[in-house]
Structure 1
Amino acid sequence: MFGFATSSCLTTLFACMASTPAQAQVHLFSSTSKTGFSHWLSDITLTGQIEGGIMANPARPNPGYNYGDFFADHANQVQLNQLQFTLNKANTGPADTYQVGFTLQGIYGSDARYYHLLGISDTEWQSRYQLIPAQAHVDVHLPWATAGGLDMQAGILQAPMGVEVMDPTGRPFYTLAYTSEYSVPFEHVGAMFNWHVTPMVDVTFGIDTGNQTTFGGSDNNSMPAGYFGFNLNNLSGGKLKIVELSRVGPEDSWRSIGHSAADHAQRFWNDINATYQVNDKLTLTAEFNYLHDEGLHGYNASGQLKGADAESFVSFLSYIVSPSVTFNYRGEIYRDNNNLMVATFRGNNSYMAAIAGTPYTTVAGPTGHGTTYGEMTLGITYHPDLGKGVRVFMLRPEIRFDRSLNGTTPFNGGRNNGMFTFGGDAVIGF
């Protein structure tokens, strides 16, 4: 199978763990022909999926938000996170042939508040449950230059950087790490390329309008941004994979720092992760991330941009207890050097307003010197094969411990330097 490389093989691990055989997917067209347009149509599939969950907080914070948590931000409240429908034509043919496919995906639910694109869906909804075009791209495989060829995606794309993804079946926990919320982009309009140089080396590059922006007046500045990086596959006898991806371009809004600064203040995103499959049961993943923004902190007294940055390390462990039970661990250290990255957005449209540079509200966070966040999450994924057309079924209880490691008090309405939450989600797909 040849396609666009995922940012981490941990994503592939959990997608495969959660899924039952491919015949559970709905094939919209069928044909006995081996050539022509009818054969191309026969590979189109339609899948549906629903996810809901809750994270309880015994401290009952006022206001009622779990600080630093996007998908489960409302404490002690059940949420419909995602109702997802995906129409897909995958490129699975031989590497030496031209191939054209596509992905169309719509998502309705509370998670959609964080994955809008400016100018497309960001102002259409005011409620907690919102609707987005999560993916709408053409996928092309070109048998050029090397035996593996070149893969391209163009359109509305989910960002490829980082370990944890929006699709709950592709990540180990209901909640996300700080790194996955604040130090990687979410959504793009643009084009991404993956060149399979050798069976061991892939090169990734791409260009887009920016993180969660589109064109013209729906861009928060006038300049593009882009990716470059590499994958190292099948290392250590096929047990190890390393993914490095960097990104550079302006991401700040002209409404916040002015047109010239917004066009010239660069944001540098850097993420490298490695996944090692120790044996058939145990998989380890480590991720290091560094982000620097030249414009986020505004100007100093000399008229120079001051900048802001954050660095983090995340570790994951996955252990298959039985064919239907997997134990998961995540541990993270996240340093927000200027207290400008980590925030909890109060209101259903505040996150996208912050990207646009229009007025928004947040839950009060730490002030003064920067904050070093520590986070540990433990969970169980129960994923039995239900058969009879059920593509995926998952129950994922988890407990999570968050703490400020240097004395600030961001949690539970500013009362505490730590927060304990517990809960989880349920996922079913057809």
Structure 2
Amino acid sequence: MSKPRKKSRFSISLFLTASGLALPAAAQAQVAVFGHSSGKSGVSQWLNDVTLVGQIEGGIMANPARPDNGINFGNFLADHANQVQLNQLEFTLSKAIDPSKSEYQIGFTLEALYGSDARYYHLLGVSDRAFSNRYQLIPAQAHVDVHLPWLTSGGLDMQAGILQAPMGVETLDPTTRPFYTLAYTSEYSVPFEHVGAMFKWHVIPLLDVTFGVDTGNQTTFGKSDPNHEAAGYFGFNLNGLAGGKLNIIELSRVGPENAVAALGPRADSAMRYWNDINAAYQINDRLSVTGEFNYLHDDGLRADTYSFVSFLSYKITPSLTFNYRGEIYRDNTGQFVLSFLNNTAYMTAFTGAAVPLEAAPPTTYGALTLGVTYRPTLGHGVRVFELRPEIRFDRSLNGTSPFNDGRNTGVFTFGMDGVLGF
């Protein structure tokens, strides 16, 4: 579970009063159980920590080779070559919990996201059929957050509902990652969204244990779960090693992820094993490095991927940071690195149906990305402002030609995105 982001505060108690809305007695009693007095004063105190933030992101990824199908192969969030697009317009209403406090706490997160990124983060049966154009709408998060002071002094945290997948380094929120584009590992070898519950047990300050269960990657229930079986996580965090400079996160995941419509009955028992470990080291106040190793095996597809991603970040000035990312990614059968050629193809593929896509033979990909993040402090209600130009070079390391409609062994792209948060 990620740490809560700093957000500007706003109280909704006035809105509730003006609208004639009030929490029922049972809800007021629940607030009292979780460490606040009952009645209006207790409810107002609980609502006082509710925050609302908004964020908008848009960008362009130029490709001088101008592929005939207009698609940057192997790129989800900046897949349309030479076209400006709105990636995200999102609003998040939340009340964070504080794991450092040894008391019962309850919070929540509700996030709605509109834009081109939504095409890849739907949940089957929730939002995948609502839109067919490039800009779509999703509930990116909708979960209850609870802190339980059980078992150890650090207690147990729980999130239940619609969750963003915890595995990997790069996330959907552009302000938490160094680049506009994502690594192959972040697109093809980690999950995106879940319906389920995740737990983090703070065993000792040095060690957290993570576990959880869900319906599958981007699936829900009934006919919206193509294989009708659950999946789950287990792993650990090592915090504050090397004098507080080093943090290590390991997560593994197991469960069937293929559709019965594609593989037949064996899809219910054919496991996919996801494994990701990353380590972040803060060398000094300006320089930090991160390494990520990922291995995935799918019994149903008889396929493997494995990769290593390295990141480096150097703060040139308080508002300007240089970023590097290098990756080697092996798709052992050519069944994972795909580009989807219309706005609904990605989610339709989860059902096992045939969709228009661009594939490549088994390939070892090398990718180098360089860029800077310009992030001045503007104030006046602006929570964050970022401009992030980047240059990226991708190449097949085993002689295949996956790029630019299968014409080239390598591709050069460059572009920029901008983020405004309030």
TM range (shorter): over 0.9
Question: Residues of 2 paired with 1:5 and 1:184: CA distance?
Answer: 16
Q: Which runs of 4+ in 1 moved over 3 A?
A: 24-30
* 1:242-269 superposed Cα distances (whole Å, 9 cap, x missing partner): 00000000000011001x2110000000
Partner of 2:12 in structure 1? 28
Is the counterpart of residue 396 in structure 1 residue 388 in structure 2?
A: yes
The counterpart of 1:136, out of the listed 119, 138, 142, is: 142
2:388 counterpart of 1:382: no
Matched with 1:101 is 107
Asked if the contact 1:227/1:248 (under 8 Å) is kept, the reply is yes
Encode CA deviations 1:91-114: one digit per residue, 9 max, x unaligned.
127531000000000000000000
How far apart are the structure 2 equivalents of 1:415 and 1:123?
34
CA contact (8 A) 2:99 2:154 kept: no
Q: How does 1:150-189 map to 2 (within 5 A)?
A: 150-189=156-195
Distance 1:145 1:26 in 2: 34
Contact 2:9/2:49 (CA < 8 Å) preserved in 1?
no
Deviation, 1:28, is 3.3
Task: Return the alpha-carbon distance in structure 2 between the equivalents of residues 49 and 25 of structure 1.
Answer: 15
Is 1:95–1:149's contact at 8 Å kept on the other side of the alignment? no
Paired with 2:99 and 2:401, the residues of 1 have a C-alpha distance of 54
Select 2:313's aligned residue among 305, 312, 318: 318
- Residue 350 of structure 2 aligns to a residue in which SS? helix
Corresponding residue number in structure 2 for 1:47: 53
Distance (Å, rounded) in 1 between the aligned partners of 2:240 and 2:153: 17
Aligned to 1:81: 87
Deviation at 1:29, TM superposition (A): 4.2
Q: Which residues in structure 2 correspond to 1:139-288 (within 5 Å)?
A: 139-258=145-264, 260-288=265-293
Shift of residue 25, structure 1, vs aligned partner: 4.2
CA contact (8 A) 1:371 1:406 kept: yes
Two-structure CA RMSD over aligned residues (Å) = 1.4
Q: CA deviation at 1:291?
A: 0.2
Distance between the aligned counterparts of 2:247 and 2:67, measured in 1?
Answer: 41
Aligned-pair distance for 1:355?
1.1
Letter in 2 for 1:88: S
Q: Which of 398, 402, 405 is the aligned partner of 2:397?
A: 405
Structure 1 residues 178 and 146, CA gap change in structure 2 (3 angstroms): same
SS at match of 2:175: helix
Alpha-carbon distance in 2 for matches of 1:121, 1:200: 39
Native 8 Å contact 2:123 2:194 kept in 1: yes
Higher relative contact order (CA 8 A, sep 6+): 1
**Higher mean Cα deviation, 349-358 or 204-213?**
349-358
Does the 8 Å contact 1:29/1:43 carry over to 2? no
- Matched-pair contact (CA < 8 Å) for 1:286–1:315: yes
Contact 2:232 2:255 in 1 (8 A): yes
Amino acid at match of 2:400: T
Deviations 1:192-217 (A, max 9, x none): 00000000000000000000000001
Amino acid at match of 2:91: F
Letter of the structure 2 residue corresponding to residue 239 of structure 1:
K
C-alpha displacement of 1:5: 4.3
Cα offset for 1:320? 0.6
Asked if 1:110 is matched to 2:116, the reply is yes
What TM-score does the superposition give when structure 1 sets the normalisation length?
Answer: 0.91
Q: Which amino acid aligns with 1:54?
A: I
Give 1:27 shift: 3.9
Q: Distance in 2 between matches of 1:25 and 1:400?
A: 38
Distance in 2, matches of 1:356 and 1:42, equals 43
Q: Kindly state the Cα deviation for residue 222 of structure 1 after the two structures are TM-superposed.
A: 1.3
Query: What one-letter code is carried by the residue in structure 1 that aligns with 2:315?
Result: I
- Partner Cα distance (1:53, 1:292) in 2: 34
Cα contact 1:25–1:391 (8 A) shared by 2: no
C-alpha distance in 1 between matches for 2:223 and 2:403:
36
Kept in 2: contact 1:29–1:44 (CA 8 A): no
Alpha-carbon spacing, 1:157–1:91, altered in 2? closer, same or farther (3 Å): same
One of 402, 418, 422 as aligned partner of 1:426? 418
In 1, Cα distance between equivalents of 2:365 and 2:63: 18
Q: Distance in 1 between matches of 2:173 and 2:10?
A: 19
* 2:406 aligned residue: 414
Candidates 287, 296, 299, aligned match of 1:294: 299
Aligned length: 398
Deviations 1:359-382 (A, max 9, x none): 21102x323xx2000001001000
The answer to whether the Cα contact below 8 Å between 1:5 and 1:194 also exists between their aligned partners in 2 is no
Q: Is the 8 A contact 1:286 1:314 kept in 2?
A: yes
2:11/2:47 contact within 8 Å kept: no
Tell me which amino acid in the other structure corresponds to 2:54.
G
- Please give the alpha-carbon distance, in whole angstroms, between the structure 2 residues aligned to 1:44 and 1:136: 15
Instruction: Provide the rounded CA distance (Å) in 2 between the counterparts of 1:54 and 1:27.
Output: 36
* Amino acid across the alignment from 2:388: R
CA contact (8 A) 1:79 1:110 kept: yes
Q: Give percent identity, aligned residues only.
A: 68
SS at match of 2:109: strand
